[in-house]
Amino acid sequence: MTETQQSTALDTLLEETRSFTPPREFVAQANVNDPEVYARADADFESWWEGWAKKLNWDQPWTKVLDWSNAPYAKWFEGGKMNASVQCLDRHVADGNGTRVAFHWEGESGDVRTLTYADMLAEVSKVANGLRSLGIQKGDRVAIYMPMVPELAMTVLACARIGAIFSVVFAGFSSTSLKDRVQDQEAKAVVCADACWRRGKVLDLKVVVDEAVADCPSVENVLIWKRGDGIGTAATGDPRDVYWDDVVVPQPTDCLPEVMDAEDILFILYTSGTTGKPKGIVHTTGGYMTGAYATTNLVFDLKPEKDVYWCTADIGWITGHTYIVFGPMANGVSQVLYEGAPDFPQQDRFWALIEKYQVSVFYTAPTAIRAFMKWGDQHPAAHDLSSLRLLGSVGEPINPEAWVWYLHHIGGGKCPIVDTWWQTETGGIMITPLPGITTTVPGSATTPFPGISARLLDEEGNEIKGAGGGYLVLDRPWPAMLRGIWGDNARFEEAYWSRYPGIYFPGDGAKRDEQGFLWILGRVDDVMNVSGHRLSTMEIESALVSHEAVAEAAVIGVPHELKGQAPVGFVILRSGFEAGPELADELRKHVGTLIGGLARPEQVHFTPELPKTRSGKIMRRLLRDVAEGKAIGDTTTLADPGVLAGLQADYEKGDS
Ligand code: WTA
Q: Is residue 178 part of a domain?
A: no
Q: Is residue 603 part of a domain?
A: yes
Q: Do both 502 and 609 map to the same domain? A: no
Q: Do both 515 and 578 map to the same domain? A: no
Nearest atom in ligand 1 to 425's CA: 18
Q: Is residue 37 part of a domain?
A: yes
pLDDT, tens digit, 9 for 90 and up, residues 476-528: 999 999 999 999 999 999 999 999 999 999 999 999 999 999 999 988 888 89
Q: CA Rg, the chain, in Å?
A: 24
Burial class (CB in 10 A: 0-12, 13-18, 19+), 465: exposed
Q: Do both 573 and 516 map to the same domain? A: no
Confidence of residue 632 (pLDDT cuts 50, 70, 90): low
Residue 208 has pLDDT above 70, yes or no: yes
Residue 529 has pLDDT above 70, yes or no: yes
d(CA 94, CA 610): 64
Q: What is the pTM of this model?
A: 0.93
Q: Is residue 335 part of a domain?
A: yes
Q: Do both 633 and 536 map to the same domain? A: yes
CA of 447 relative to ligand 1 center, distance in Å = 15
Q: Is residue 110 part of a domain?
A: no
pLDDT of 538: 87
pLDDT, tens digit, 9 for 90 and up, residues 214-270: 999 999 999 999 988 676 666 678 899 999 999 999 999 999 999 999 999 999 999
Measuring from each residue's beta carbon to the nearest atom of ligand 1, which residues come in under 6 Å?
271, 317-319, 394-397, 419-424, 445, 506-508, 520, 522-523, 529, 534
Q: Do both 510 and 572 map to the same domain? A: no
Q: Do both 319 and 346 map to the same domain? A: yes
CA of 132 relative to ligand 1 center, distance in Å = 36
Confidence of residue 631 (pLDDT cuts 50, 70, 90): low
pLDDT, tens digit, 9 for 90 and up, residues 354-398: 999 999 999 999 999 999 999 999 999 999 999 999 999 999 999
Nearest atom in ligand 1 to 393's CA: 15
Residue nearest atom 13 in ligand 1 by C-alpha distance: 397
Q: Is residue 475 part of a domain?
A: yes
Q: Do both 566 and 516 map to the same domain? A: no
Q: Do both 361 and 440 map to the same domain? A: yes
pLDDT of 626: 83
Lowest average pLDDT, out of 29-33, 525-529, 543-547, goes to: 525-529
Return the biggest CA–CA distance within the chain: 73
CA of 419 relative to ligand 1 center, distance in Å = 10
Q: Do both 564 and 503 map to the same domain? A: no
Residue 48 has pLDDT above 70, yes or no: yes
d(CA 450, CA 441): 19
Tally of structural domains, the chain: 2
Q: Is residue 491 part of a domain?
A: no
Who contacts 204 (Cβ-Cβ below 8 Å, separation ≥6)? 194, 195, 232, 233
d(CA 244, CA 222): 10
Q: Which residue has better confidence, 618 or 455?
A: 455
Return the number of other C-beta atoms located less than 10 Å from residue 358's C-beta. Answer: 17
pLDDT, tens digit, 9 for 90 and up, residues 8-27: 788 888 888 899 999 999 99
Q: Is residue 647 part of a domain?
A: yes
Residue 223 CA: distances (Å) to CA of 192, 206, 239: 6, 10, 11
Q: Do both 601 and 620 map to the same domain? A: yes
Who contacts 403 (Cβ-Cβ below 8 Å, separation ≥6)? 393, 417, 419, 442, 443
Range of the domain at 553: 531-653
Q: Which residue has better confidence, 644 or 101?
A: 101
pLDDT of 656: 46
pLDDT, tens digit, 9 for 90 and up, residues 461-471: 999 999 999 99
Q: What is the mean pLDDT of the chain?
A: 94
Q: Do both 299 and 444 map to the same domain? A: yes
pLDDT of 151: 98
Lowest average pLDDT, out of 103-107, 348-352, 587-591, 623-627, goes to: 623-627
Residue nearest atom 1 in ligand 1 by C-alpha distance: 396
pLDDT of 270: 97
Q: Do both 369 and 506 map to the same domain? A: yes
CA of 217 relative to ligand 1 center, distance in Å = 35
pLDDT, tens digit, 9 for 90 and up, residues 102-152: 999 999 988 999 999 999 999 999 999 999 999 999 999 999 999 999 999
CA of 172 relative to ligand 1 center, distance in Å = 19
The CATH number that applies at residue 5 is 3.40.50.12780
Confidence of residue 301 (pLDDT cuts 50, 70, 90): very high
pLDDT, tens digit, 9 for 90 and up, residues 53-78: 999 999 999 999 999 999 999 999 99
H or E element at residue 210: helix 205-213
The CATH number that applies at residue 641 is 3.30.300.30
d(CA 140, CA 164): 5
